[in-house]
Chain A
Amino acid sequence: MDLVRDVMDKKLVDRKDCEMGRVDGLVMHVGPSSQPRVTHILVGGTTPWMRLGPVFSRISARLARLWGPKRTEPVRIPWSRVKTVGKDIKLDVMAREAGALDWEIWISRHIIERIPGGGTEEEE
């Protein structure tokens, strides 16, 4: 598997095929004697902005503290939860529980649901 070609920036979908962001970063474990090994997938937070430059990452961290669900850390998904890597990456987690929908839920509750006709984000 080619990490950059097949994993980075791919769309993540949860057990119920709910979209839960994209692979913004990867965490590797490099031990003194073992081979480097991918341990976690990072989604959101300052991770994608870090790839543009430290300035963007600082701005995004500051904005995230001011507004929204007050989440500055990216979502960390253990590599062991990866089911398949294809055009999308299927994960054995639930998006909501993993925290990948924090922003979605926050915007829904604070803005969208308050506009008439917006419906509710609660799952049936």
Chain B
Amino acid sequence: MKKILQITLGIVTSVGGFLEIGSVTTAAQAGAAFGYQLLWAILLGTLCLIFLVEMSGRLSAVSKHTIVEAMRERFGFPFFFIVLVGMVLVAFLVLIAELGGIGFSLQLLTGIGFPWWAVPVSLLVWLLMWKGTFGLIENGASLLGLVTISFVVAAIRLHPDWSGVAAGLLPAMPQSDKAHYGFIAVSIMGASISPYLMYFYSSGAIEDKWDETYVGVNRFIAGFGMTFGGFLSMAVLVAAALALQPRGIQVDDFHQSALLMTTALPRWGFYLFAISMLFACFGAALEVSLAIAYFFAQGFGWNWGEDLEPSKDARFSFVYTIIILLAAVPLLFGIDPVKVTIMSMALTAATLPLAIIPFLFLLNDPIYMGKHRNGWLSNSVVAIIIVVSFVLAVISIPLQIIGG
């Protein structure tokens, strides 16, 4: 039972990694522009993510080494450094977007412009990491994140045509606007398969002191957690298809996304949307900042742990302090978080192969994995994900230029 309660790690990873400003924006764009047609992209992203997250957790539980640690050990410092640069750059943009998302939600609730929120919001995120424990962040963020279930309520209240929804789960090409369709599909994949999410989850497994007995639980947590996130993303898409597409609204900014909730729930929708986004982006901001600090500490062999007093892991605490401070700066100058989001998702897609290829080697390494090595199914899935990630990497930037 105690092990099952660790489901919170799955939920926080999923809400923070899945249902944040990136996924909501892309899913809303997809629904508004193409109806249910792009549901398959979320389904595919979710399936890939379930496997990758399960492997991240299994590696940690069996070897007591996170993905980053094992990557540095197996591939050496130069490879680690290249991934570090790519990952930190992308994660930093995501952090700016999430802090901006929190600011936007507060702007919806209070009417005070989002640049004013940059400093207080960053300070609050930092304070939680500075004083809080991993358990507090994990349980608090996943509990608050449950508010996002309101997206499902909104979708159901709009009475979707279920046969249309089912048809959308199968990939199909649209008659027109193919470049834009492709761009959104790539963005959805980029928003779903975020590497920082795997680094966070595998570090979380170490923070929660998992061992080999967690292999089965991990499978359940990864499966359930990511399905939960994917399901919510699909709900956003469905609600957008019903609320926005008939009125011809294209989602270019955050305010328009609120309409997908207010149409279904006229009285409470607006507040539910703002609060859902607030909590989801908050969870994501914590997750990304921690993932960046974990990445540095594990790669360089520093002592780390969210439960330690900051002075006991000074370099680790220093990294997240600096990163959060820096991320507040562009927001102070009023940079548009939605633009940053879209850019960061295309970049995530472009750097994906670097993050995924190590999985194929690490999860088959007998020294790390013993008898819990990947089977043929997991290996085939990783191979397919690598191929998909290469395709995404090659087409993401050109598609952004012509379709974005």
Asked if A and B are interacting partners, one says: yes
Question: Which residue of A is nearest B64, CB measured?
Answer: A87
Cross-chain contact B315 with A104 (CB below 8 angstroms): yes
Cross-chain contact B303 with A104 (CB below 8 angstroms): yes
A22 vs B77: C-alpha distance in the bound complex, in angstroms?
10
Cross-chain contact B73 with A112 (CB below 8 angstroms): no
Cross-chain contact B367 with A112 (CB below 8 angstroms): no
A52 interfacial contact with B, CB 8 Å: yes
B361 interfacial contact with A, CB 8 Å: no
A24 vs B73: C-alpha distance in the bound complex, in angstroms?
10
Q: Which chain B residues lie closer than 8 Å to A9 at the CB level?
A: 72-74, 76-77, 80
Cross-chain contact A117 with B77 (CB below 8 angstroms): no
Question: Which residue of B is nearest A44, CB measured?
Answer: B300
A35 vs B80: C-alpha distance in the bound complex, in angstroms?
32
B309 interfacial contact with A, CB 8 Å: yes
B130 interfacial contact with A, CB 8 Å: yes
Cross-chain contact B314 with A111 (CB below 8 angstroms): yes
A21 vs B63: C-alpha distance in the bound complex, in angstroms?
18
Cross-chain contact B318 with A111 (CB below 8 angstroms): yes
A52 vs B204: C-alpha distance in the bound complex, in angstroms?
30
A121 interfacial contact with B, CB 8 Å: yes
Number of A residues, CB within 8 Å of B: 30
Chain B 295-324 interface 0/1 with A at a Cβ cutoff of 8 Å (1 = within): 000001111100001111011011001000
Cross-chain contact A121 with B312 (CB below 8 angstroms): yes
Q: Choose among A8, A18, A120 the residue that contacts B311 (Cβ–Cβ < 8 A).
A: A120
A93 vs B186: C-alpha distance in the bound complex, in angstroms?
51
Number of B residues, CB within 8 Å of A: 30
Q: Which chain A residues lie closer than 8 Å to B302 at the CB level?
A: 19, 21, 104
Name A21-47 residues within 8 Å CB distance of B. 21-22, 24, 43
Q: Which chain B residues lie closer than 8 Å to A120 at the CB level?
A: 311
Chain A 1-12 interface 0/1 with B at a Cβ cutoff of 8 Å (1 = within): 000000011111
Q: Which chain A residues lie closer than 8 Å to B321 at the CB level?
A: 111, 115
Most buried by A among B130, B312, B321: B312
Q: Which chain A residues lie closer than 8 Å to B131 at the CB level?
A: 117
A92 interfacial contact with B, CB 8 Å: no
Taking the closest CB of chain A, its distance from the CB of B237, in whole angstroms, is 42
Cross-chain contact B77 with A51 (CB below 8 angstroms): yes
Q: Choose among B63, B78, B304, B315 the residue that contacts A87 (Cβ–Cβ < 8 A).
A: B63
Name B367-397 residues within 8 Å CB distance of A. 367-368
Cross-chain contact B303 with A10 (CB below 8 angstroms): no
Cross-chain contact A104 with B301 (CB below 8 angstroms): no
Name B266-299 residues within 8 Å CB distance of A. none
Q: Which chain A residues lie closer than 8 Å to B368 at the CB level?
A: 87
Q: Choose among A19, A22, A107, A117 the residue that contacts B72 (Cβ–Cβ < 8 A).
A: A22
Cross-chain contact A112 with B317 (CB below 8 angstroms): yes
Q: Which chain B residues lie closer than 8 Å to A87 at the CB level?
A: 63-65, 367-368
Most buried by B among A10, A20, A115: A115
Cross-chain contact A103 with B301 (CB below 8 angstroms): no
B54 interfacial contact with A, CB 8 Å: no
A16 vs B294: C-alpha distance in the bound complex, in angstroms?
22
Q: Which chain B residues lie closer than 8 Å to A118 at the CB level?
A: 130, 309-311, 317
Question: Which residue of B is nearest A12, CB measured?
Answer: B301
A108 vs B73: C-alpha distance in the bound complex, in angstroms?
27
B20 interfacial contact with A, CB 8 Å: no
Taking the closest CB of chain A, its distance from the CB of B232, in whole angstroms, is 35
Q: Which chain A residues lie closer than 8 Å to B80 at the CB level?
A: 9
User: Could you list 8 examples of A-B contacts with CB < 8 Å?
Assistant: A19-B301, A24-B77, A51-B77, A87-B368, A112-B310, A118-B309, A119-B311, A121-B312
Known: A8-B76, A87-B368, A120-B311. 6 other contacts (CB 8 A): A107-B315, A111-B314, A112-B318, A117-B310, A118-B310, A119-B310
- For the complex of A and B, 6 pairs with smallest distance between CB atoms: A108-B314, A119-B309, A22-B301, A119-B311, A21-B301, A107-B314
Tell me the A residues contacting B by CB distance below 8 Å: 8-12, 18-22, 24, 43, 48, 51-52, 87, 103-105, 107-108, 111-113, 115, 117-121
